[in-house]
Structure 1
Amino acid sequence: MAITRQTMTDEQRKSVALEYLKAYDNGGVTSTGGSILDLFAGDAQVYFPKWGLANGKDEIGKLFGEVGSRGKSIRHDYAGFNWIFTGTDLFACEGTSYGEHADGPWRAGVPEWGAGRWCDVFEVRDFLIQRCFIYLDPDYAGKDTARYPWLAGKTPDKG
């Protein structure tokens, strides 16, 4: 845990999270041309479903490389974000996304039960992401239906 040195407003924390999301959409490159990893503290943690917990920039880079290698493109729908602030360094962002995965395209709401809706819980301090826990369905192609009785026989194109 880093020692807090700079007081931040919610809007400043939000700007760090937005820079991260936009860098993710831009193949890991920030608006200034730097690496997405520059937005993280050295001892940061990132959680991604079906991958697990990455500790530190090296593991976070591995997580992003492995998860990102399955996607061809992603876009977050920035205009529809819901920001939930707690009055501390911890806050959440809920939103939707669309793009193309190695197994095909996806869009939030198409079908309604498919991938594309997500919620990230951030901890931002000293203008760096200390923690980012990502909550979403990583089955972007919508192929994991056999294990769920309510989805048996459904496909992404048939809802």
Structure 2
Amino acid sequence: MEKENLVKLVIEYFEKVDAGDPGYLDLFSENVDFFFPKFGQAKGKDALVEFGNRIGSSLTSIWHDIDGFKITTAGNMVVVEGQEGGVMSDGTSWPDNNISTGRFCSVF
């Protein structure tokens, strides 16, 4: 797949996550292999659903500054650095710019 198309897929992923659209799952193959801190490494769409449910249960909303992403490609890999934030289920907004600055890096 061309780099442009890979980048479009990654951006579509973040757009769907921010919109709460479960269609983000359609962007992954059945053998997706992923790692997330505090969740660990897991394989398969069922594990990705479990991860989404676990993270989603602690959030009321989430946003990513897609326009501010720094994106690097290498072969079929896309690396995204950016800013994210949202509201926790207890009403706490994040990042608080004290403990959390909302910075993230994802590798696809």
Q: What TM-score results when the alignment is normalised by the length of structure 1?
A: 0.63
Asked if 1:102 is matched to 2:89, the reply is: yes
Which aligned segments of 4 or more residues in structure 1 are displaced greater than 4 angstroms?
A: none
Deviations 1:21-65 (A, max 9, x none): 111101134xxxxx2211100101121110111210011101111
What letter is aligned with 1:80?
Answer: G
Quote the offset at 1:89 in angstroms: 0.7
What letter is aligned with 1:44?
Answer: V
Quote the offset at 1:9 in angstroms: 1.4
Asked if 1:11 is matched to 2:14, the reply is: no
Residue segments in structure 1 that go unaligned for 5+ positions in a row: 1-7, 30-34, 123-159
Residues in 2 aligned to 1:115 and 1:64: alpha-carbon distance in whole angstroms: 22
Residues in 2 aligned to 1:11 and 1:49: alpha-carbon distance in whole angstroms: 28
Q: What TM-score results when the alignment is normalised by the length of structure 2?
A: 0.91
In the alignment, which residue of structure 2 is the partner of 1:72? 60
Deviations 1:66-94 (A, max 9, x none): 111101001100111000111x1112000
In the alignment, which residue of structure 2 is the partner of 1:55? 43
Local SS of the residue matching 1:16: helix
Residues in 2 aligned to 1:114 and 1:81: alpha-carbon distance in whole angstroms: 18
Asked if 1:45 is matched to 2:38, the reply is: no
In our comparison, the structure showing a higher alpha carbon Rg is 1
Paired residue total: 107
Local SS of the residue matching 1:73: strand
Point out the structure with the larger helix share. Answer: 2
Asked if 1:117 is matched to 2:106, the reply is: no
Contact kept, 8 Å, 2:86 with 2:94, in 1: the verdict is yes
Residue segments in structure 2 that go unaligned for 5+ positions in a row: none
